[in-house]
Amino acid sequence: MIDAIKNRKSIRKFKSDAIPNSKLNSILEAARIAPSGSNTQPWKFIIVQSRETIEKLSNVSKNQSWMKTAPMHIVAVADISSRIKDSENLSLDETSSIFELKQVIRDTVFSIENILLEAVNQGLDTCVVADFTQEGVRPILNIPKDKFVVAIITLGYADLKNNTPHNRHPLEDMVYYEKWNNLK
């Protein structure tokens, strides 16, 4: 597992090769079995392969044109109805202060990490995109206002010449023991 974690990179240039259904199903299965608070499993996923829709998602994501090179996008959506049963009248966006929204976003992020790691395991590459608004993405995919789009994950095979690893902070710069700022 540590190799998949170390080898995962955010890729911004993809080959046009199609993704086999067997690989996509393995990735989605990894997302499905992610942990969640109280086993609420609030995540939903929209698989996008239409070139027209991919272009629209790129446009509402601050015109990140590189997104158009990916043959597939997985849109991860947090469904607050797993925590609030009568949520249809809610209107969620980036300014919402509802505590349960924070919970379903947190849990959906767990499933997204599983997607990223299983993609590496399947020989695929990804990039998580979150530079968009709910107002921008929802109408493109017909997402109700009581759902929250957490991320757009681009998925495909990297088209890279140089595959150098990213620099990461050393452990001693981020790990404390027993209390904040206690180095040992």
- 139-179 pLDDT, tens digit per residue, is 999 999 999 999 999 999 999 866 666 788 999 999 999 99
Question: How far is residue 78 from each of residues 14, 68, 99, measured CA to CA in Å?
Answer: 27, 24, 13
Q: Determine phi and psi for 67, rounding to 5 degrees.
A: -60, -30
pLDDT in tens, 83-99: 999 999 999 999 999 99
CA 14, CA 51: separation in Å to the nearest integer? 14
The structure's pTM equals: 0.94
Integer-rounded Cα radius of gyration of the chain: 18
Burial class of residue 127 in the structure, from the number of CB atoms within 10 Å of its CB (0-12 exposed, 13-18 middle, 19+ buried)? buried
Judged against a pLDDT cut of 90, whether residue 1 lies above it is answered with: no
CATH number, domain 2-173, options 3.40.228.10, 3.40.109.10, 3.30.420.40, 3.90.650.10: 3.40.109.10
In the chain, domain spans: 2-173
- pLDDT at position 4 is 87
